[in-house]
Amino acid sequence: MATKQEKVDYINQQVASRGYAQHYQKVCIEHDFDMIVKANDLTQHLLMKDRVLDRQTKELIFIAGLTLMRAPEWQIKQHIEVAMTLGASKEAVLEAIELTILGGGFVVFSHGLKAWSEVVGATGIEPTVEALEQFKSKHAKPKA
């Protein structure tokens, strides 16, 4: 059984290597330490260890995957922040999210785009009121 200090050291090591600690990790470190250590071994091998793909590339893939699954925005944002900390440009992250249009459509893409916009502070262009009025006047059905 791990001591309180071992648990604190473990979560600190996770944050230092990953850049974050998720809620499930915090809870499981406290309540099922052995399981989370084993789960982390897999994450370390798949995500953290540079094999053929480097960590930045893996984060971009992970962002696209999380977007396709419509993961919670906080989780997508967490990985966007890590990817950018690792050197990915905001344009590279956006391009990874744009790929989700092909597999999930624009609704799925919009989910990831919202998370990206909040992380990078991106805003859009608003149309003029006149444009909406033009549409309405052109397409309005006569009242009976």
Q: Encode pLDDT of 118-131 as tens digits.
A: 999 999 999 999 99
Residues 29 and 82 in one domain: no
Q: Which residues are within 8 A (CB) of 58 and not within 5 positions of it... i.e. 6 or more apart?
A: 46, 47
CA distance readout (Å), 86 to 27, 40, 103? 27, 20, 26
Domain range for residue 78?
53-144
* pLDDT single digits (tens) 45-103: 998 888 999 999 999 999 999 999 999 999 999 999 999 999 999 999 999 999 999 99
Residues 7 and 38 in one domain: yes
Residues 58 and 113 in one domain: yes
Residues 78 and 135 in one domain: yes
What per-residue confidence (pLDDT) applies to 60? 98
Residues 24 and 62 in one domain: no
Q: Report whether 64 contacts 100 (CB < 8 A).
A: yes
Termini Cα distance of the chain: 78
Residues 69 and 29 in one domain: no
Q: Report whether 59 contacts 79 (CB < 8 A).
A: yes
Residues 59 and 109 in one domain: yes
- The total number of structural domains in the chain stands at 2
Residues 58 and 42 in one domain: no
Residues 91 and 120 in one domain: yes
Residues 43 and 59 in one domain: no
Specify the DSSP element, H or E, that contains 112.
helix 100-120
Helix (H, G, I), strand (E, B) or coil at 13: helix
